Chains A and B, each alone.
Chain A
Amino acid sequence: MSAGEPTTESRVERAEIDRSLRGPVLFFFSSGIAWLLLGSALGLLSAFKMSFPHLLDSAGWLTFGRVRPAHLNIVIYGWASSVGIGVGIWLMARLCRVALRHRGMLLGAGVAWNFGVALGTAGILAGQSRSIEWLEFPGWATPVLFVAYALIGGWGVIMFRYRRPGHVYVSQWYLLAAFLWFPWLYATANVLLIWQPVQGSVVGAVNWWYGHNILGLWFTPIGLASAYYMIPKVLGRPVHSYYLSILGFWSLALFYSWNGMHHLIGGPFPAWMVSASVVASVMMFIPVIAVAINHHCTMRGHFHYLKWSPTLRFTVFGAMTYTVVSLEGSLMAIPSLNNLTHFTDFTPGHAHLGLYGFFTMTMFGAMYYIIPRLVGWEWPSAAMIRWHFWLAASGIALMVAALTVGGFLQGLELNDPQVAFMTSVAVVAPFRFVRALSGILLAAAHLVFAVLFVRMLMRRGERREEATLLAPQGTHSELPTV
């Protein structure tokens, strides 16, 4: 397949595929955005509670220890998974060149997924949290999610099975893998931790095997699949190297899945488990550098497109952050450095850089590409897209900077036996306040995006056939196909 001028047949085929995806994908996007707003509000509340512990402290359901896991689970299962499923299904259908069949059932699964998230969140706030990180939903909510997922993931795999003959693109490997890994992860974790709980310390191992893999083997492959699609698609050039793609994919599968125990260095585990994760974490240099070279060389000579294309700007921001956050993660796993960052605010800084700076930004980029094709309408306001980008980018940069520096100082105090514990609380306090302020920027970015999304659904603004660009194109004639 070459990146030549598309034929009329291929255009009709794509139009047909997009039409078949319209309902389910827009449903996953809208519910995801609704969860994003709620998740941002809860995240903001937890952040301010760390600076003002008396804020809303009279009721159990508003206590920090419930609001924080509610924030995390809403953002993971409500926002990131929903939008990831939407983007994943769209990419899969486009690349397999098959229209979606039985979309009513997929929609039903989406409704069930959202019902499961709502049920689980209510359970956490009502005091039924399991306090197993990333798996706080009570045992009576998780089966709903699992059944809903089985239907959703099945769609991805079935589409792959019935794909049109031809080359299988790198994004398809990542998506197929993600759709297969997630149920395995989720089922294992639920069986061993919630339905048939294992002995105490094994809980820690399974917990972080799950916690790290849902990031590494569910969100990361979807984010990379999207970046691998969007960058060459918008530029109209091929991805740099098929061999690097292969290397990146299989080394990610092999090494990322062994990373979990680096969250528990020094914990009650035999030396070999921790050492295996330390090695795997450092070996993550291989997939990360492979993907970074591949994306960078695809972009090379075309960075000025970032001025115009919303898709590319968000996606490239995400892809670059992926490199940064992964290298940071590898370094954090080295025991002598981990000793400083472990148990401090450095870790949530790292988590936000990964899940927001990389995944969420990449998904925003994908949505800027996909939604006009589903709605048949162009984005009504370039100014709002610019606001969305700069609020989100500055918000996440400020948040990560505050947590990284604050966590570093906190770690120094925590490790110094001559210093009282309360010093470590005091030293990080101003940074926690800055982090809370950065949350306002992110929440504002999400509000802007939500308004833009609703205006898009309602087809506000004037009817146009050309793309909404972030800046006037000037003398450049190569129109980005945003």
Chain B
Amino acid sequence: MSDPPPTPGPFADPPVKPDEIDLGKVHGSILREHEEPAEGRESVPLWFVTLIMMLVFWAGFYLANHSGGFRANVFNPVPGNQSPVPPDPATLGRRVFVQNCVICHQASGLGVANQYPPLAGSEWVLARNGHADNYLAAIVIHGLEGPVIVNGRLYNGAMPPWKFLRDEEIAAVLTYVRSQWGNAAASIGPDFVRQVRERTADRAEPWTQRELQAIEGRTAPKAAGNASPAP
């Protein structure tokens, strides 16, 4: 080999020419080392060739059926895979609840002490002790801020308005929370939510407890709209 000797670097030994290496001084690891590895010529096992064929066949089949024509706007590879059509009110109620309510009121419906009031056994939810159905709907539509007393305890948080939810969604989630965690109150229909929305249309701020309790209480008509019966 006619290569020039290696350039010394910070870690390097003094340059050595090949013929200066005395085999007697070469370290034992080099002396006992085998020759560099080589390759045998065994053939590929037949079962493996078969497996490869099967995999290739499957790959072609899968791609042909799941590629959606390689188009940019096909997200569902199998047209038969239809998503469930608009859910029934019970499912919708649970879905709205886990989407929008659990963050504060928790999946247990127990809320967080001092901050987010419970829904389970709450007189506001069940429209007891001087609370009315329309208070509940109005809170969801416009939100509620400041101190509020639930089951004799004081909570001081802020609930944002949810007016962007559709009437069916609000009705479904109200019906849902009135039928969970031992709650058993009548369902609320979308028509009632729409009426509350119309009556409070000029409201821009979240309610306070005092303001809410000043308005006239209304009761939702029984079995109104298409709300599902409580399970």
Q: Do A and B bind each other?
A: yes
Interface residues of A (CB under 8 A from B): 1-6, 8, 10-16, 18-20, 22-24, 26-27, 94-95, 98-107, 162, 164, 167, 169-171, 228-229, 232-236, 238-245, 247, 269-272, 274-276, 278-279, 282-283, 285-286, 289-290, 293, 297, 372-373, 376-378, 417, 420-423, 464-467, 479, 481
10 smallest CB-CB distances across A and B, nearest first, come from: A23-B11, A420-B107, A465-B28, A232-B37, A271-B68, A271-B77, A236-B34, A104-B9, A275-B66, A242-B39
Q: Does B151 contact A (CB under 8 A)?
A: no
Q: Residues of A contacting B21 with CB < 8 Å?
A: 12, 15-16, 19
Closest residue to A464 on the B side, CB-wise? B28
Interface pair B40/A239, CB less than 8 Å apart: yes
Distance A271 CA – B30 CA, assembled complex (angstroms): 55
Q: Are A466 and B28 in contact (CB under 8 A)?
A: yes
Residues in B whose Cβ lies below 8 Å from that of A285: 51, 55
Q: A293 to chain B: which residues have CB within 8 Å?
A: 45, 48
Closest chain-A Cβ to B98's Cβ sits at a distance in Å of 7
Distance between Cα atoms of A116 and B30 in the complex (Å): 35
**B215 proximity list for chain A (CB < 8 A):** none
Quick check: B44 and A8 within 8 Å, CB to CB? no
Whether B38 pairs with A23 at a CB distance below 8 angstroms is: no
Do A417 and B7 have beta carbons less than 8 Å apart?
no
In Å, the complex CA distance between A407 and B68 comes to 31
B28 nearest CB across to chain A (Å): 3
B35/A272 in contact, CB under 8 A: no
Question: How close is A328's CB to chain B, nearest CB, in angstroms?
Answer: 17
Which residues of chain B are near A481, meaning CB under 8 Å?
32-34
Residues of chain A within 8 A of B86, CB atoms compared: none
Q: What 1/0 flags go to B103-143 for Cβ under 8 Å of A?
A: 00011100000000000000000000000000000000000
**Which residues of B are at the interface with A, using a C-beta cutoff of 8 A?**
1, 3-4, 6-13, 16, 18, 21, 23, 26-45, 48, 51-52, 55-56, 58-59, 62-63, 66-77, 94, 98, 102, 106-108
Contacts A19-B16, A373-B33, A422-B107 aside, 16 further interface pairs with beta carbons under 8 A come to A6-B33, A23-B9, A104-B7, A104-B10, A233-B37, A238-B40, A240-B40, A243-B44, A275-B66, A275-B67, A282-B59, A286-B52, A372-B27, A373-B29, A479-B32, A481-B32
A267 nearest CB across to chain B (Å): 10
The answer to whether A100 touches B38, judged by C-beta atoms less than 8 angstroms apart, is no
30 contacts between A and B (CB under 8 A): A2-B35, A5-B35, A10-B35, A12-B23, A16-B18, A22-B12, A23-B10, A24-B9, A101-B7, A103-B7, A107-B11, A169-B37, A232-B38, A240-B42, A241-B41, A241-B43, A242-B40, A270-B73, A271-B67, A275-B62, A275-B66, A283-B55, A283-B56, A376-B27, A417-B94, A420-B102, A421-B102, A421-B107, A423-B107, A481-B34
Secondary structure type dominating chain B contacts: loop
- CB pair B27 A169 closer than 8 Å: no
| Given contact pairs A6-B33, A271-B68, A279 touches B9 in the complex (Cβ within 8 A) | no
Let me know if B62 and A279 touch, CB within 8 A.
Answer: yes
A464 to B27: give the CA distance in the assembly, Å. Answer: 9
Please state if A2 and B38 are interface contacts (CB–CB under 8 Å). Answer: yes
Query: Whose C-beta in chain A lies nearest to the C-beta of B32?
Result: A481
Q: What's the dominant secondary structure at chain A's contact region?
A: helix
Give min CB distance, A148 to chain B, whole Å.
16
Q: Are B36 and A169 in contact (CB under 8 A)?
A: yes
Which listed residue (A3, A24, A270, A286) contacts B72, Cβ 8 A? A270
Given contacts A243-B44, A270-B72, contact A3 B28 (CB under 8 A): no
- The reply to whether A3 and B31 contact each other, CB–CB distance below 8 Å, is no
- The answer to whether A272 and B67 touch across the interface, beta carbons within 8 angstroms, is yes
Q: A271-B77, A479-B32 are in contact. Are A103 and B43 (CB under 8 A)?
A: no
Q: Is the CB of B8 within 8 A of A104?
A: yes
Once the chains are docked, how many angstroms separate the CA of A467 from the CA of B31? 11
Please name all residues of chain B whose beta carbon is closer than 8 Å to the beta carbon of A376 when the two chains form the complex: 27
Closest to A419 in B: B107
**Which chain A residue lies CB-closest to B78?**
A271
Is there an interface contact between B107 and A100, defined as CB atoms closer than 8 Å?
Answer: no
Contact A241 to B42, CB < 8 A, known contacts A271-B75, A421-B102? yes
Q: Which chain A residue shows the least CB distance to B59?
A: A279
Chain B's closest residue to A5 (CB) is B35
B residues less than 8 Å from A106 (CB atoms): 9
A129 to B190, CA, bound (A): 48
Indicate if the CB atoms of A3 and B29 lie closer than 8 Å: no
Residues of B within 8 A of A282 (CB): 55, 58-59
Query: How long is the Cα–Cα vector from A244 to B29 in the complex, in angstroms?
Result: 30
The CA-CA distance from A49 to B230 in the complex, in Å, is 43
Known A229-B37, A270-B72; judge A14-B59 contact (CB<8 A): no
